[in-house]
């Protein structure tokens, strides 16, 4: 764990609410394509994956990696792009070298660009209910198909979430995914509070709302979309291994790896550190008060006063050294 200042250790000990992103935070960050559903007779399943992978080839997002792996598995070669644009929280828009424009992302992205997605709600809902994240793929503003991607929850996610909740921490899932996908993940992990279809500014507003209600809030995430939420929270925690540079830079604490067990370990470390600080404060003030009293009464010499002062400092150092004995689990 990289902690960027002593104040953040203190803040971590006070946290009573954790807001969690989904992809790469609660999930493994290794999504795979599991469903491809063409929606136009001009496009095969391979075509849908080809266009999606080509459009996303320049994106660092884990979903882009899943699409590229899906194209590789199907033996299709991605096409070059001459223009690439990220629509934060919604998807990407790319222009291929042959002049065709490709839109890949959420239903919100399609509707923003007046792409007709009506008539597929049944299939889309079935995919979402199974926990799939849906990517809509459109070519020249015509819907080509749907791609369902699954990013499985981390193996330790359930036990960590339940342990934090039992210790009194309130858990909130804040995700840009559809309601049914968020519902499936929340049920699987036992998270009571979850919010879906959230843009980065929505996450930031939710954190501001929770803080206004008197909660001390930490935001945990790994992507560019989480940087604004980090800035609005009491404590920003970046999942380091798969995290973007922007997220790690904006966060107050960066975890070395995408390991959720670091969260309870961080809480334990911060609470024990603050306990030692309070012990040192009481001990140091007590010894100093004793020395002043004995000196004023003429009961000790200046030399003994100096010895008492040095013993005070040594005691503080030895007590603080106990923090080094906390085992890294």
Q: Which residue has the higher pLDDT, 7 or 225?
A: 7
Query: Is 21 labeled as catalytic in the residue annotation?
Result: yes
Q: Where in the sequence is the domain holding 275, given as residue range(s)?
A: 266-325
Question: Do residues 73 and 87 share a domain?
Answer: yes
For residue 222, the model assigns a pLDDT of 79
CATH number of 134's domain: 3.40.1110.10
Question: Do residues 84 and 177 share a domain?
Answer: no
| Residue 99 pLDDT greater than 80, yes or no | yes
Question: Do residues 225 and 121 share a domain?
Answer: no
The residue from 260, 292, 316 where one domain ends is 260
Contact 287, 307 (CB under 8 A): no
Question: Do residues 228 and 181 share a domain?
Answer: yes
Question: Do residues 24 and 158 share a domain?
Answer: yes
Greatest pairwise CA separation for the chain in angstroms:
100
CB atoms within 10 A of CB 328: 7
How many domains does one find in the chain?
3
> What contacts 24+ positions apart, CB below 8 Å, involve 83-89?
84/55, 84/58, 84/59, 86/59, 87/112, 88/199, 88/200, 88/224, 88/225, 89/176, 89/198, 89/199, 89/200, 89/225
Q: Mean pLDDT check: name the lowest of 102-106, 130-134, 160-164.
A: 130-134
The one catalytic residue in 16, 21, 140, 234 is 21
For residue 328, the model assigns a pLDDT of 59
The residue from 126, 150, 174 where one domain ends is 150
CATH number of 226's domain: 3.40.50.1000
Instruction: Give the model's confidence band at 243: pLDDT under 50 very low, under 70 low, under 90 confident, else very high.
Output: low
Q: Which of 23, 3, 22 is nearest to 13 (CA)?
A: 3
């Amino acid at each position: 764990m990289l902690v960027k200042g002593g104040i953040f250790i203190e803040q971590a000990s006070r946290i009573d609410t954790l807001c969690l992103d989904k992809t790469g935070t609660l999930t493994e960050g290794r999504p795979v394509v599991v469903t491809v559903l063409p929606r136009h007779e001009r496009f095969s399943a391979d075509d849908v994956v080809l266009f999606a992978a080509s459009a996303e080839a320049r994106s660092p997002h884990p979903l882009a990696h899943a699409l590229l792996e899906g194209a590789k598995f199907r033996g299709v070669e991605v096409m070059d792009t001459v223009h690439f644009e990220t629509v934060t929280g919604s998807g990407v828009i790319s222009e291929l070298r042959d002049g065709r424009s490709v839109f890949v992302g959420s239903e919100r992205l399609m509707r923003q660009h007046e792409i007709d997605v009506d008539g597929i709600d049944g299939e889309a809902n079935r995919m979402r209910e199974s926990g799939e994240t849906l990517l809509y793929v459109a070519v020249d503003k015509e819907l080509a198909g749907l791609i369902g991607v699954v990013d499985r929850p981390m193996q330790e996610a359930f036990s960590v979430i339940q342990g934090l909740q039992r210790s009194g921490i309130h858990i909130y899932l804040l995700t840009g995914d559809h309601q049914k996908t968020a519902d499936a993940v929340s049920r699987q992990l036992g998270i009571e509070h979850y919010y879906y279809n959230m843009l980065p500014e929505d996450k930031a507003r939710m954190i501001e709302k929770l803080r206004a209600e008197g909660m001390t809030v930490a935001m945990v995430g790994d992507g560019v979309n989480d940087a604004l939420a980090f800035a609005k929270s009491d404590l920003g925690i970046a999942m380091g291994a798969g995290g973007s540079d922007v997220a790690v830079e904006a966060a107050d604490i960066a975890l070395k790896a995408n390991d959720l067990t670091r969260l309870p370990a961080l809480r334990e470390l911060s609470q024990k550190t603050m306990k030692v600080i309070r012990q040192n404060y009481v001990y140091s003030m007590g010894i100093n008060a004793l020395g002043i009293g004995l000196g004023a009464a003429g009961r000790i010499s200046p030399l003994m006063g100096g010895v008492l002062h040095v013993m005070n400092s040594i005691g503080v150092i030895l007590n603080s050294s106990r923090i080094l004995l906390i085992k890294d689990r």
